[in-house]
Amino acid sequence: MALRMISRIHILSPRRLVPIFLILIGLVSGCTTGQPNSPAVDLGETPQNAVDDVFTPAPQGLEDPETQNSGDDAAQLFSSDQLGLCFSYPLGYTQNLTGDTVAIAGPDIPGAGDTKGRFWLEISDSYDRSAERIADEDMDLAVTQQGVSRANLGWSGISLGGEQAVVLDGMPGQDLQRRVYVVRDQTLYVLAFMPARSDDQAASDQMEALYSAVTNSWSWSPCSEGE
């Protein structure tokens, strides 16, 4: 009986145990082997070392080539090689350049509507006439065609950038104007300031500030450094 039971027991030989052993090793290694652990990376963030390696220059201010700060902290400089002239005007005033016409206006005055200090410059051919002759012709037109009394017109002379200029005060227009006439190299420059003789004190003060700044700083290109 005992011999019969032993005969039914199959003793596994070493050759059959080897494949089984290899299969078990493979299963164990599959359970324990995976992708190496690595820190989670948020794709929406930039690694700190990449940020540290990037240099961002500080923003630089850009200056209008026609308008720069002048040496006077209370004024701005208009400079144009194309027009061949330079002058300063008060800070806070706005500039408009159209062709050969330059216009500058003072800040808005509360309760004054569109009334404010203004300056415009117009450049044209003098047709071989002097500043005095052109000013006299404009004065005659104001008297004969626009009914202005000659006695109400002021006439004086100033130096503008080393050139002799004529000033006519009280000339007619949308507002009464103070006009400055100067000729250089056969080119006529007419500087008009308004409102002249105004009852609006704020507008009058703006106009006087413009007149003083422009005429005292006027120079011809090339402009000296600091103007």
Instruction: Please give the backbone phi and psi of residue 175, each rounded to the nearest 5 degrees, phi first.
Output: -125, 155
Per-residue CA distances from 160 to 1, 11, 185, 212, 217 (Å):
142, 126, 14, 12, 9
Q: Is the pLDDT of residue 7 over 50?
A: no
- Give the residue, 57 or 157, on which the prediction is more confident: 157
Average pLDDT over residues 61-69: 43
- Please state the pTM of the whole predicted model: 0.68
Q: Is the pLDDT of residue 21 over 80?
A: no
For the segment 46-64, the average pLDDT, to the nearest whole number, is 37
pLDDT tens across 116-131, in order?
A: 999 999 999 999 999 9
How far apart CA 110 and CA 113 sit, in angstroms, is 7
Confidence of residue 73 (pLDDT cuts 50, 70, 90): low
The reported pLDDT for the residue numbered 70 is 52
Average pLDDT over residues 98-106: 90
HEC readout, the chain: CHHHHHHHCCCCCHHHHHHHHHHHHHHHHHHHCCCCCCCCCCCCCCCHHHHHCCCCCCCCCCCECCEEECCCCCEEEEEECCCCEEEEEECCCEEEEECCEEEEECCCCCCCCCCCCEEEEEEEECCCCCHHHHHHHHHHHHHHCCCCCHHHCEEEEEEECCEEEEEEEEECCCCCEEEEEEEECCEEEEEEEECCCCCCHHHHHHHHHHHHHHHHHCEECCCCCCC
For the chain, the structural domain boundaries read 67-220
Per-residue pLDDT reduced to its tens digit, 160-210:
999 999 999 999 998 999 999 999 999 999 999 999 999 999 999 999 999
Mean pLDDT value of segment 97-118: 90
- CATH assignment, 67-220: 3.40.1000.10
Nearest to 88 by CA among 180, 196, 223: 223
> What number is the average pLDDT over the span 53-81?
55
Return the pLDDT at 74. 79
Mean pLDDT for the chain? 78
Neighbours of 151 (CB within 10 A): 8
Q: What is the mean pLDDT of residues 1-9?
A: 42
Residues 6+ apart with CB under 8 A from 96: 102, 103, 104, 105
In this predicted structure, the answer to whether residue 45 has a pLDDT above a threshold of 70 is no
C-alpha span between 100 and 174 (Å, rounded): 21
Give the residue-averaged pLDDT of 44-58.
Answer: 39
Query: Tell me, what's the pLDDT at 225?
Result: 58
pLDDT at 11: 43
